[in-house]
Amino acid sequence: MMAVASQIKRGLIDLYWMVRGTSIHVPALPSRPRSVLFVCKGNICRSPFAEHVARKLFHELVGDTEQSIAFQSAGLHVTAPKAPPETAIVVAHQFGVSLEEHRSQPLSQELVAASDVIVAMEGWQYDELRFRFKGYQDKLFLLPLFLKEATPQSGYEAYNIQDPYGGSGSVFEECFKKIERNVKALLAECGMKE
């Protein structure tokens, strides 16, 4: 009985996102952004991983040229600097990324104003950014929308990168794989391809 209820709930959530997703405004990406800010809830798992993996991938793609992009991350609900959970640190190492020195920082008006591109992990975060920073609508993006694969993804998964906080190593690994694929797609849209 619980399994049926869970499937119904999942189906309703997916249906909501199939409808809601079509109303998400996707602005044109700047051709040569100078700065990208990744945003999630607490800035301890997803957005710092996105920041560091973007920096790593960018360096691998362009090497030591004069071309540069500043990558940063922040959280919508950060009250004090906090380190990533140990599981996030361990799994990030598997992707060649170090999160040991990272400490969360709150999203601020200054960070938003200074960023050319602001990327949220989930639909509710995108909505909160649109509400809190009304003058910056054309800078706001939803990370899962950069990956335009012909896959059977639909509903919730197509518009959200779920928070792995409190999950197992395999939950973090799946999350970080999805972030890495989407960051590669973001960089490709900025003209940086392998």
Tell me, what CATH number does 28's domain have? 3.40.50.2300
Q: Is the pTM of this model over 0.85?
A: yes
When mean pLDDT is compared over 68-72, 123-127, 171-175, the highest value belongs to: 171-175
Domain count, the chain: 1
3-state DSSP: the chain helix, strand, coil percent, rounded to 5?
A: 50, 10, 40
| Region 39-64 average pLDDT | 94
Q: Residue 62 sits in which domain range?
A: 1-190
pLDDT higher than threshold 50 for residue 151: no
Catalytic residue of the set 45, 163, 175, 190: 163
Distance (Å, whole) CA 66 – CA 18:
42
Catalytic residue of the set 10, 20, 32, 46: 46
Catalytic residue of the set 40, 45, 175, 190: 40
Name the CA dihedral angle for 113, 115, 116, 120, rounded to a multiple of 10 degrees. -110
Distance (Å, whole) CA 69 – CA 91:
25
Check residue 135 and give its pLDDT: 92
Distance (Å, whole) CA 192 – CA 184:
9
Distance (Å, whole) CA 18 – CA 16:
6
Known catalytic residue at 163: yes
Q: How confident is the model at residue 186 (pLDDT cuts 50, 70, 90)?
A: very high
pLDDT higher than threshold 90 for residue 42: yes
Mean pLDDT of the chain: 89
Known catalytic residue at 46: yes
